[in-house]
Amino acid sequence: MAGIYIHIPFCKKACFYCDFHFSTSLRFKDDMIDAILKEIGTQQKYLEGKTLETIYFGGGTPSLLNKEELTLIINTVSENFEIIENPEITLEANPDDLTIEKLKELKAVGINRLSIGVQSFFDEHLKWMNRAHSALESEACIKNAQEIGFQNITIDLIYGMPNLTDKQWEENIKKALSLNAPHISAYNLTVEKNTALAHFVKKGKYQPLSDEKGAKQFSYLIETLERNGFEQYETSNFAKDKLYSIHNSSYWRGKHYLGIGPSAHSYNGNSRQWNIANNKKYIDAISNNENQFEIEKLSNADKINEHLLIGLRTIWGCNLNFIESLATENSYKQFMNELTVQIEKKMVTLDKNNIFLTPKGKLFADRIASDLFVE
């Protein structure tokens, strides 16, 4: 099985913290749709005949697409790839786009999972982030989506903001739980290079972020959601009743996927490729039948290190047999020595040849993975 990701690089506004590829100008929107449709056809063989189980519209803000555009893209995918009978089709959406009419259109075209970028249920935080929606719009769109028949909904939240008090974070989680969404994704705010947030922090307009505060709010998130029947199946993702994101889980479990659109990434087990992150250059390259992507061949060490970096964040963990099969004798010895250190520090546990993070280790997932990397 495999998945396809479609990047829609347009947004109404630029969120201050975001470093994803997007444009606030819709000038090339029609040309972009044409290019995306053409790329789907030209990349038909990339997945080597694997059947699609997921289609994911990300961005950017894919909820800016109309019914006809979404239908055209989904139909083009189905014309070029074999798809299972009831695929998971996810669309990332901003609350201000999800009117009742829009929700009905999304339902009609086959979208069956919504990833809603709420971020906070406090207007002061939404303004601070330069979001386009209000807290009331967030609550209303989730309730409307459920009434229209969307059961598979995930709510995105952000913690670790300088102006987010612990009490407000508790209220955000409480509100999310009261809305009965079966999936919650929560991310610790980070200051990415070349973002407005990075500029504001550097100039002293915004307070620096506190690692201690983020860790405290993360711990409260885990405890509260688990107490309410959610399973933390990936560091930032929590689900009830095993209603995991099938598409995102495929990334974390090493399945193959094809990325379509500017800046989109693809993976086929032996290499990764990524499209150019420039709307005009992407459109021109597709129109002229030129390569619009770069390719990186993965070494055995790359494969091991990616397995560690991604797998340790999940309930599936990392497999020692996989690591040993790809490692050299010396690199595996180095890895096992470091693994022993991490076990003694109670950062990881070993169970039936699989490595898992402990509750303590979850606070330092990326650092632990880096310490375990092989050369």
**Where do we find the tokens 């390719």?**
295
pLDDT of residue 2: 97
N- to C-terminal Cα distance for the chain? Answer: 31
**Where do we find the tokens 């898992």?**
356
Mean of the per-residue pLDDT values of the chain: 96
Q: Residue 23 — φ and ψ, nearest 5°?
A: -135, 145
CA 318 to chain centre: 20
Q: What is the dihedral of CA 146, 152, 153, 159, to 10 degrees?
A: 140
Encode pLDDT of 332-371 as tens digits: 999 999 999 999 999 999 999 999 999 999 999 999 999 9
In the sheet that 318-319 helps form, which strands lie side by side, from edge to edge? 318-319, 354-357, 348-351
Instruction: Quote the CA–CA distance of 26 and 50 in Å, as a whole number.
Output: 34
How many CA atoms are closer than 13 Å to the CA of 302, on its beta-carbon side?
A: 9
pLDDT of residue 16: 92
Instruction: Quote the CA–CA distance of 158 and 50 in Å, as a whole number.
Output: 35
Entry pTM: 0.96
Tell me the two tokens of residue 92: 């990332």
pLDDT of residue 266: 97
Encode pLDDT of 307-333 as tens digits: 999 999 999 999 999 999 999 999 999
* Cβ atoms of residues 160 and 219 within 8 Å: no
Q: Residue 114 — φ and ψ, nearest 5°?
A: -115, 130
pLDDT of residue 276: 97
Complete DSSP assignment for 251-303: HHTT-EEEEESTT-EEE-SSEEEEE-S-HHHHHHHHHTT---EEEEEPPHHHH
Domains and CATH numbers, the chain: 2-251 (3.20.20.70), 299-375 (1.10.10.920)
pLDDT class of 208 with cuts at 50, 70, 90:
confident
Encode pLDDT of 169-193 as tens digits: 999 999 999 999 999 999 999 999 9
Is the confidence at residue 157, as pLDDT, over 90? yes
Encode pLDDT of 82-133 as tens digits: 999 999 999 999 999 999 999 999 999 999 999 999 999 999 999 999 999 9
